[in-house]
Amino acid sequence: MTDNQAKWERLVGLVASLLKCPEPMPLEQIRLRVEGYGPPVESETARKRLQRDVEELKQLGVEIGFVTASRTGQEGYEIDRAKTFLPNVHITERENVLLNLLSRCLVDDARSPLSEHLHTALLKLQCSTGPVGSAEADLEEKILIHKDLGARAAPVYLAQAFTAVSECRTVCFDYLPAGSVQPTRRTVDVYGVGFRAAAWYLVGRCHDRNGARVFRLSRIQGRMSLAKDSAYEVPDDFDIDNHVGIAPWKIGSEGLQAKIRFDSHIAWMIAQNAAGSDRFDLADDGSGVLTTQVRNPVSLIRWVLKFKSRARILEPVELVDRMIEELDRLGARYKGAGG
């Protein structure tokens, strides 16, 4: 990934995280949630990078400000929605028909010099009619993604992915899975697009694997092509959160129930992002305990280790022992590298 691509992925991740946070987000939380600000980047370097990114986003029309604790009880960064988003547009049924006719007559004609601009404008207007289903992104995110920010953050893939979702169009692309050295050609009926952990994902039925698959947009290589005519329907029970929102430790064959304690610095953040099937108990001192089902213990251990001394697995004992073994293994590796 080039430095320019990394920067725009970082900007999109910052905007998406701020939109989803119900209160101002301090720098410490941004470093934990948005790739590009956390370790190995030093805290002071991250602060200066964030300031530059905020100024660049303001130039794109995304008004991010720093809110003091005197107003909200917590200081941090937040998006000024009143200055960033346009008022909702209410479109009548008749106007919807006219917009569809305009789309067919002008937008589909690639020779028109206004084609690209009309396409973007119609997508924005389409958002005001409300999400089509759970496969669509949140309304505010959709409006932002079809502004200049989204076009520059993912000049081809993100815009094409949203087009595929809204028009039920099959896509073809070369995909490089994690750990592979050679990309493979994939043909996918796109069901939805989702955002998780500072990355965008495309979800759909892969013709080559004959089943639902998840593809990280940053791993697509070359050109993504959209079929002119497609004949598929998104399943009624499809939910993007079941594919993109699911935690990696819940995918696997083992079955355990784990309890993890988080200190008061991060417990509130874990509580806000806990899945519906998880339980989070907050203590009077601000700390909390997450109870979650684990099918992939290694993924859970790696996730807990990211929080360093601020998180600790309480039970079951076998999972605590496995984490100790992982810490010993990592310690031996780094000791060996240093010696």
| Same domain (yes/no): 24, 38 | yes
Report the pLDDT averaged over residues 300-322. Answer: 90
| Same domain (yes/no): 13, 55 | yes
Q: Tell whether 19 is covered by a domain.
A: yes
Listed as own residue / partner, the contacts of 147-154 with beta carbons closer than 8 Å and 24 or more positions apart are: 147/60, 147/61, 148/60, 148/61, 149/11, 149/12, 149/15, 149/57, 149/60, 149/61, 149/62, 150/12, 151/120, 152/8, 153/8, 153/9, 153/11, 153/12, 154/8, 154/12, 154/200, 154/217
Assessment of whether the complete model's pTM goes beyond 0.75: no
Q: Which residue has the tokens 């209160």?
A: 23
Q: Tell whether 324 is covered by a domain.
A: yes
| Same domain (yes/no): 275, 206 | no
The residue out of 242, 258, 285 marking a domain boundary is: 242
Q: In this model, does residue 220 exceed pLDDT 70?
A: yes
| Same domain (yes/no): 214, 278 | no
Question: Among the listed ranges 40-54, 62-76, 279-293, which one has the minimum average pLDDT value?
Answer: 62-76
Q: Which residue has the tokens 């994690």?
A: 178
Q: In this model, does residue 13 exceed pLDDT 70?
A: yes
* Residue pLDDT, tens place only, 245-286: 677 787 666 788 999 999 988 888 888 777 767 899 999 888
| Same domain (yes/no): 164, 231 | yes
Q: In this model, does residue 142 exceed pLDDT 90?
A: no
* Residue pLDDT, tens place only, 30-50: 998 898 898 888 989 999 999
- Percent of the chain clearing pLDDT 90 (strictly above): 27
- The whole domain housing 265 covers 248-338
DSSP letter (8 states) at residue 292: E
| Same domain (yes/no): 301, 332 | yes
CATH number reported for the structural domain that contains residue 181 in this entry:
2.30.30
| Same domain (yes/no): 273, 230 | no
| Same domain (yes/no): 177, 255 | no
Q: Tell whether 124 is covered by a domain.
A: no
Q: In this model, does residue 224 exceed pLDDT 80?
A: yes
Q: Tell whether 32 is covered by a domain.
A: yes
Q: Tell whether 135 is covered by a domain.
A: no
Q: Tell whether 230 is covered by a domain.
A: yes
CATH number reported for the structural domain that contains residue 62 in this entry:
1.10.10
| Same domain (yes/no): 7, 79 | yes
Report the pLDDT averaged over residues 304-314. Answer: 90
| Same domain (yes/no): 231, 177 | yes
Number of domains in the chain: 3
Q: How confident is the model at residue 120 (pLDDT cuts 50, 70, 90)?
A: low
| Same domain (yes/no): 32, 80 | yes
Q: Tell whether 125 is covered by a domain.
A: no
| Same domain (yes/no): 208, 166 | yes
- More confidently predicted of 276 and 66: 66
Q: Tell whether 215 is covered by a domain.
A: yes
The residue out of 242, 257, 278 marking a domain boundary is: 242
The residue out of 64, 84, 104 marking a domain boundary is: 84
Nearest alpha-carbon partner for 320 in 271, 260, 279: 260
